[in-house]
Amino acid sequence: MAGTMLSGVAMAQTTPTAPAAQAQQAAPATTPPVIVSAPVRNIRSLTVRGSQRIEPDTVLSYTKLRVGQPYTTESLDQAIVDLLASDLLADAQIEGVETGDIVVVVRENPIINRVVLEGNKRLKDDKIVKEIKLAPRQIFTRTAVRADVARIVELYRRQGRFAASVEPQMVMLDQNRVDVVFEINEGPKSKVRQINIIGNDQYSDSDLRKEMYTKQARTFRIFSSNTSYDQDRLAADQQKLRQFYLTEGYADFRVISAVAELTPDKRDFIITYVVEEGPRYKFGDVKVDSAIRDFDGEKLAATLPMKKGDWYNAKLVEDSIDSLSQYAGLYGYAFTDVRPEFQRDREALTMGINFFLAEANRTYVERVEITGNTQTQDKVIRREMRVAEGDAFNAFMVKRSQDRINSLGYFQDKFEIKQEQGSTPDRIILAANVEERSTGELSLSAGFSSLEKFILQASIRQNNFRGKGQTLSASASYSSYSKSVELGFTEPYLFDKNIALGGTLFRRDYNSFNYYGSGRDRNDLYSQLSTGGTLVAGVPLTEYWQLSGRYTLQQDKVTLDEDTYYTNGECDPLKAGRYLCDAIGNRLTSSIGLSLIYDSLNSRLRPSRGSRVVLGADFAGLGGDVRYIRGRFDGDKYWNLGGWVLSAGLEGGYIHALQDSPGPGIDPVRITDRFYLGEPQFRGFDIRGVGPRIRRTYMTGDAASGTQALTTDNSYDDPLGGKAYYLGKLELEPPLGSGISELGLRPSVFVQIGSLFSLTRPRPTAEFEQATDASGNPMFNKDGSPSLLPRVDPIRTDTGQALYLNSFTNSSGSTSTRLTTCTTGYAATYGGTCVGGETNVAAVNTVAPFLEEYYGDTWKPRLSVGIGVNWNSPFGPLRIDVAKALLKQKGDDTKLITFNVGTQF
């Protein structure tokens, strides 16, 4: 408006009057036109009207207008342009042009009252607000609005939503305030509909798509995030294609172009790659030329993975550079420059390589810098370093130091020791910049597991007590089948010497159980109350070998429920089984043990490389009531296969009693000292589901009439354990994306094989007479089992006298029975004088027949395969396994799914 007004004024000053125009029209054509120039005036005064928050001087500072200076139409128009370009004003006009008393009339931009986002569901407000510039109490400008609209659209494009649109709205309020509303239409996520590749002759499109991060949107990839378009991923895919071809021998491969086209509806992308494969090369001569005097180039070349005539592989070249650098580092050359020199023969299609090791000086460790440890003492970190200041540099020992510090669990994951140039070329600085993590654990949890049912657990543990690397712990747990209290302390470096010393005090109450009935219900079997302590000491023998010794003193009390399993104050074998009656009692165990340990794992928390082997032996008999010798072996090996972690494990044990058997059919190794196998260590089988066991099945029906049958509703399955076992496994963990890793998920597939065996066959609990027919031939049931007659046992006193039932009339006039030692009449005391002439009936116990079978005592393997996942969930660690037993022996108990929440096995 101002510009239009100012133009009108200028025209009024320069346009001739009407008569003059008529005179010009009447004049001859040869008369030149008369040009009247616009007058130039000076500014007499200069004021600002309409400013409220902005000072008038500030407004005028954006113009070139000054009092006393001349002005023209052009200069006034430029002043308006400059004022609007300041982004401080919504409008500007100039008055007083005719008189020279210039008045700048302005309307200030409003103040933002609030910024409102509407329609955003995929991106929350906090994600958008921190990216835009507009905010409450700031000055509203249309330029800032346009910039924020573009920024929001860009945020949605990063999410793969290229159809997103943003419509800004302005709601005017009083006092020159405004609400800014961004109406967002998120639109669908833009998928990659098709990936086309042009120029590939040797490999199909599908083969090359498998190498890419980006995938085509298909129904079976509904949960994949790789089907959305990402410009950064497009660049990464080009590199992936190049890497693939270079590993297959195509050294001249290149991506000519990569174009992503958005469909007209903005819903999908079509990506087209144009590639040039080029010829395929083989390795030519592979040599190593070393300027370092100590190295033999021919011997080094023989150790490299590539050979002349093999297809060219760029990955092998990179691996060779790393291996040569590491080899030089082992001999103290920290900064060895390994340069591959390529000799390309385009006619013979060969690629010769000469690895040149530049001359280097032997390097020494100038100093070891430790930073970032605010709680952990320096000595805790330094004692894990395998190199010290002044030592010759050794890359292997630096890597070993890094692994040992990682295994402490005190610092961030993927900790690395940085190598920096020292004060001179032959000096190196090792920088250990650690980032401490919380090492204290306070756990109050409740959970449910398929192993122990309902669980309550409380524990407190400090793995880096007082920053000295000491471990202090206390825990208590309660479940349906176990209760325990433990206190422990470990000093890893006693008196700053490389000697570990620790101890544990414990009290554990464990209720064993068996299964009964067709519903596989659990039935309490025996209770084992253990009280004692263990003292452990360890000393290193070499970098990887360690010797550990221990002493344990433990009091065990094994009991059975008297109401369920006792008769006349004694354990009844017919109720409990002879094998359980032989186990009850109090026993004191005093044992000493030694373990030889080899450990080269890169991490004890989550290993991905290295080995751990433990050979252990325990001797019980330094006093106490129990004497045995027990040996165990446990070994694990881990391989990192390009992100996949493959592990193999083998364990086994044998226990031999050093005391005689208490009697026939009784194993000298008591039931609580034997090995057991099943859930959780042997997945696919129930707890104690493998190995020797007795299954007792009761019979119903009449044996004499041939209607007798076994009933699974009244059967018991008692695991007995074994003296020998072995267990092997193979497990594979796939590589995971950062998002899944942050959730704490660790899936795996596994296969396991093992067995539990070697036990003295128990004596039968009871023997029953087999029924015979009229001809005296033994009878069998329809299922093939022998028809057994009930067993009738006389009831006797503690001194062995037979008891009889005496019938008499009680005070109410009814008939009752009472026990007596009299065959005729009754005596008030056992063995007393018999009074009366009534004939008594012998008192007997009738035992229903049952079939007792002994299963599982065999070395033959059991085999299971399955998948599992560990999850560090917000409510505690969770482990779920689905395993199928492919090989099993008669009597084994299998289980398909096992899980555990709220505590760890």
**What confidence tens digit (pLDDT) does each residue in 363-379 have?**
788 888 887 777 777 77
Percent of the chain with pLDDT over 70: 88
Cβ neighbour number for residue 531 with a 10 Å cutoff = 15
* DSSP 8-state class, residue 219: G
pLDDT at 880: 86
Residue 526 has pLDDT above 80, yes or no: no
* Element housing 581 (H / E): helix 578-581
546, 540 contact by CB (below 8 A): yes
**What confidence tens digit (pLDDT) does each residue in 280-318 have?**
999 999 888 887 777 888 888 888 888 889 999 998 998
* DSSP 8-state class, residue 293: T
Among 42-56, 135-149, 342-356, name the one with the lowest average pLDDT. Answer: 42-56
Q: CA-to-CA distance for 245 and 196, rounded, in angstroms?
A: 17
Q: CA-to-CA distance for 782 and 853, rounded, in angstroms?
A: 18
Residue 176 has pLDDT above 60, yes or no: yes
Q: Residue 426 has which token pair?
A: 């032959």
Give Cα 607 distance to the centre of its chain.
Answer: 12
Mean pLDDT of the 721-732 span = 95
User: Exposed, middle or buried by CB within 10 Å (0-12, 13-18, 19+), for 816?
Assistant: exposed
All residues at 6 or more sequence positions from 76 whose CB lies less than 8 Å from its CB, including other chains: 2, 6, 65, 94, 97, 102
Concatenate the DSSP letters of all residues of 166-177 into one string: EEEEEEEETTTE
Identity of the residue numbered 650? L
All residues at 6 or more sequence positions from 776 whose CB lies less than 8 Å from its CB, including other chains: none
- Name residue, tokens 């000053």: 13
pLDDT at 363: 79
Residue 447 has pLDDT above 70, yes or no: no
0.85 exceeded by pTM: no
* Better pLDDT: 453 or 631: 631
The rounded mean pLDDT for the chain is 82
pLDDT at 336: 78
Q: CA-to-CA distance for 664 and 579, rounded, in angstroms?
A: 11
- In 3D, which of 97, 105, 111, 123 has the Cα closest to residue 170? 111
Q: CA-to-CA distance for 113 and 257, rounded, in angstroms?
A: 49
Q: CA-to-CA distance for 163 and 588, rounded, in angstroms?
A: 77
What pLDDT band is residue 771 in, cutting at 50, 70 and 90?
Answer: confident
Residue 20 has pLDDT above 60, yes or no: no
766, 847 contact by CB (below 8 A): yes
**What confidence tens digit (pLDDT) does each residue in 636-649 have?**
999 988 788 999 99
Beta bridge partners of 457: 445, 477
Cβ neighbour number for residue 158 with a 10 Å cutoff = 12
Residue 754 has pLDDT above 70, yes or no: yes
Beta bridge partners of 778: 772
- In 3D, which of 664, 501, 534, 526 has the Cα closest to residue 583? 526
Q: CA-to-CA distance for 755 and 722, rounded, in angstroms?
A: 10
